[in-house]
């Protein structure tokens, strides 16, 4: 019985009367090609892997291919094609704009070169102390375990190695990665990627997780995987049990369009969430697939309903194969403008451009800070409401000093970056060769002989440390930043990428593979 203002008791009663409807288990309809495959096989991830589609003939059985797709599939030098039957079943066979199809079926134009295109646009192989380990940020690394995936995204940022079994990482590479991590205590976060770590044989995966967990300073392990999307059948109870053993484990999936969020994916995500794995999503902004505020809104809403936090929205990388997927950066900013404030903060990803050449992720967003004067900041909200924030005139930034002195300092000497300028670790960041260039081949003369005139005064102490582009300090005066001592062994790997060539990285596959299950 419903009353206009029900009491708590009445509401509870109603709940009992109307249990949430559960119906029969929803599944994505299967194309007739697979209508006779027993559920037991269809739901077995090994069957899905073994029956992937990769040829023109196979794909033509389930999709009305366009001339451009036929051209793409016939190209000799194309990036690997492989599509799980499950993911292929999401494709609309008659819609050339189908967002699922566009992500995995090549088009002739994908091979077209464009200005700025690079093989390794994020310079990952250049910033790898050992093959497959990219140590770009002070406290975390990207660890590539395999070059294999369940299916292959046409815009793959790592197409230079991904899909090629000959480029995969060996047991020897993995041991070298582990050695580096054991000897690099500044790393507290290891991000497993590839390829896709969840296509590893179960025993291999457990070996990786247990080896990492044996390293005390590694606090969190993250997995970046599109397996739940391409092959939700892989998210078995056994896999969840393995993940649970090595917590804290975080997982980022990769969904680009709401159409990919099927009942099968929802159930896989629910299992992972029940296993205590915090879930995030990384999507790539793709022309003609998800470069729309409305599509992105639907995507992020569906994600949070599945307990997945939209984490990053990536600007498309400048790699071969991705040219026709690239959007302007303005489009990404417009999408954030259309989401932030309009919907739950939890549903808004950070839009990032992964810096060409290897600078890491750079967040980009609309401008919300409109103007400033001493003591006043003018801000605007998503509606265009403009307001002033009066800053405190009596703010004491030293009120925190007592607590700050007890807080843990992290040793990131020479990696302070722009924050290092604020913290007093450094006084400038200069392009390589800046000092030499500006000497203009000058001989020593009466005005330039005294270098003390360029030392900054601070609290009676001369300021040390000029950073050059390689992040090395000049070392000609005392170390004034004070912190950072006591941690060692972690430095010396940063910067100074000159002279390291990428050779040696290709040798990895000569070694023994990881143990097979």
Ligand X SMILES: *Cc1c(COP(=O)(O)O)cnc(C)c1O
Binding ligand X (rule: CB under 6 A), the pick from 49, 59, 149, 191 is 191
**If binding is defined by CB under 6 A, does position 160 make contact with ligand X?**
no
3-state helix, strand, coil in the chain (%, to 5): 35, 15, 55
Could you say which residues in the range 38-97 bind ligand X, by CB under 6 A? none
Active site residue 354: yes
> Residues binding ligand X: what is the number (CB under 6 A)?
7
Q: How far is the CB of 355 from ligand X (least distance, A)?
A: 10
Nearer Cβ to ligand X, position 83 or 133? 133
Site string for ligand X, 348-367 (x = CB under 6 A): -------------x------
Active site residue 149: yes
Active site residue 316: no
Alpha helices in 44-165 (DSSP H): 45-50, 56-60, 67-74, 85-88, 99-104
Active-site residue, from 136, 259, 271, 297: 136
List, as one string, the DSSP characters of 340-394.
BTTB-GGGPPEEEEEPTTT--EEE-----EEEEETTEEEEE-TT--EEEEEPPSS
Active site residue 240: no
Active site residue 153: yes
Active-site residue, from 149, 152, 160, 320: 149
Q: How far is the CB of 389 from ligand X (least distance, A)?
A: 28
Nearer Cβ to ligand X, position 129 or 464? 129
Closest residue (Cβ) to ligand X?
A: 142
Q: How far apart are CA 487 and CA 495, in angstroms?
A: 18
Nearer Cβ to ligand X, position 101 or 140? 140
Active site residue 98: no
User: Computed from CA positions of residues 319, 155, 235, 21, in that sequence, does the dihedral angle turn out positive or negative?
Assistant: positive
Active-site residue, from 156, 180, 259, 271: 156
Q: How far is the CB of 122 from ligand X (least distance, A)?
A: 6
Active-site residue, from 120, 125, 173, 317: 317
Q: How far apart are CA 83 and CA 89, in angstroms?
A: 10
Could you say which residues in the range 13-42 bind ligand X, by CB under 6 A? none
Stretch (H or E) spanning 9: helix 8-17
Site string for ligand X, 130-149 (x = CB under 6 A): ----x-xx--x-x-------
**Is residue 309 within 8 Å of 303, Cβ to Cβ?**
yes
- Of the candidate spans 60-68, 129-137, 161-169, 452-460, the one that interacts with ligand X by CB under 6 A turns out to be 129-137
Q: How far apart are CA 135 and CA 494, in angstroms?
A: 8
**If binding is defined by CB under 6 A, does position 158 make contact with ligand X?**
no
Distance of CA 376 to the CA centre of its chain: 36
Active-site residue, from 52, 120, 137, 312: 137
Active-site residue, from 120, 125, 152, 153: 153
CA angle 300, 306, 311 (to 5 degrees): 45
Active site residue 140: yes
Q: Of 125, 134, 75, which Cα lies nearest the Cα of 105?
A: 75
Q: Of 251, 332, 330, 318, which Cα lies nearest the Cα of 290?
A: 332
Contacts (Cβ under 8 Å, ≥6 apart) of 389? 376, 377, 378, 379
> Across the chain, how many H-helices and E-strands are there?
17, 14
Stretch (H or E) spanning 266: helix 263-274
Active-site residue, from 52, 102, 154, 158: 158
Nearer Cβ to ligand X, position 53 or 277? 277
Active site residue 137: yes
Nearer Cβ to ligand X, position 130 or 466? 130
- First vs last C-alpha separation in the chain: 58
Q: How far is the CB of 226 from ligand X (least distance, A)?
A: 15
- 3-state SS, residue 201: coil
Nearer Cβ to ligand X, position 120 or 334? 120
Nearer Cβ to ligand X, position 331 or 361? 361
Catalytic residue numbers, as ranges: 136-137, 140, 149, 153, 156, 158, 317, 354, 361
Q: Please report, as ranges, the residues that interact with ligand X according to CB under 6 A.
A: 134, 136-137, 140, 142, 191, 361
């Amino acid at each position: 019985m419903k009353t206009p203002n029900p009491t708590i008791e009445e509401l509870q009663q109603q709940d009992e009367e109307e249990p949430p409807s559960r119906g029969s288990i929803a599944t994505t309809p299967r194309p007739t090609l697979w209508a006779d495959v027993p559920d037991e096989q269809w739901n077995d991830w090994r069957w899905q892997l073994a029956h992937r589609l990769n040829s023109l003939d196979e794909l033509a059985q389930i999709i009305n291919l366009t001339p451009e797709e036929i051209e793409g599939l016939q190209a000799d030098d194309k990036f690997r094609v492989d599509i799980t039957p499950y993911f292929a079943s999401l494709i609309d066979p008659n819609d050339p704009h189908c967002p699922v199809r566009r992500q995995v079926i090549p088009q002739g134009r994908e091979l077209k070169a464009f200005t700025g295109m690079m093989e390794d646009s994020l310079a990952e192989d250049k910033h790898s102390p050992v093959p497959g380990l990219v140590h770009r940020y002070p406290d975390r690394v990207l660890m590539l375990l395999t070059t294999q995936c369940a299916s292959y995204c046409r815009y793959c940022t790592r197409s230079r190695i991904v899909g090629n079994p000959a480029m995969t990482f060996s047991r020897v590479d993995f041991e070298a990665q582990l050695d580096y991590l054991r000897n690099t205590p500044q790393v507290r976060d290891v991000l497993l990627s590839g390829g896709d770590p969840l296509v590893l044989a179960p025993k291999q995966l457990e070996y990786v997780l247990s080896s990492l967990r044996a390293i005390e300073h590694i606090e969190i392990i993250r997995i970046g995987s599109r397996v739940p999307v391409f092959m939700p059948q892989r998210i078995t109870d056994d896999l969840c049990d393995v993940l649970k053993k090595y917590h804290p484990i975080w997982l980022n999936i990769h969904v680009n369009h709401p159409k990919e969020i099927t009942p099968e994916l929802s159930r896989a995500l629910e299992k992972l969430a029940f296993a205590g794995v915090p879930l995030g999503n990384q999507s790539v902004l793709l022309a003609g697939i998800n470069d729309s505020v409305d599509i992105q809104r639907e995507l992020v809403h569906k994600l949070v309903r599945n307990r997945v936090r939209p984490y990053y929205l990536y600007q498309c990388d400048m790699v071969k194969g991705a040219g026709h997927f690239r959007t302007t950066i303005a489009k990404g900013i417009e999408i954030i403008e259309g989401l932030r404030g309009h919907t739950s903060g939890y549903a808004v990803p950070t839009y990032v451009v992964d810096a060409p050449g290897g600078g890491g992720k750079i967040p980009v967003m609309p401008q919300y800070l409109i103007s400033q004067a001493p003591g006043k900041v003018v801000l605007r909200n998503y509606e265009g409401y403009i307001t002033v924030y009066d800053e405190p005139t009596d703010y004491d930034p030293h009120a925190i000093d007592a607590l700050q002195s007890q807080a843990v300092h992290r040793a990131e000497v020479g990696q302070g970056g722009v924050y290092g300028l604020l913290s007093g670790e450094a006084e400038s960041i200069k392009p390589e060769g800046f000092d030499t260039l500006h000497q203009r081949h000058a001989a020593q003369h009466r005005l330039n002989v005294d270098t003390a005139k360029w030392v900054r005064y601070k609290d009676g102490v001369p300021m040390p440390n000029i950073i050059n582009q390689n992040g090395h300090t000049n070392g000609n005066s005392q170390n004034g930043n004070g912190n950072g001592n006591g941690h060692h062994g972690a430095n010396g790997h940063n910067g100074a990428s000159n002279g390291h060539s990428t050779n040696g990285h290709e040798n990895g596959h000569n070694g023994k593979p990881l143990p097979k299950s």
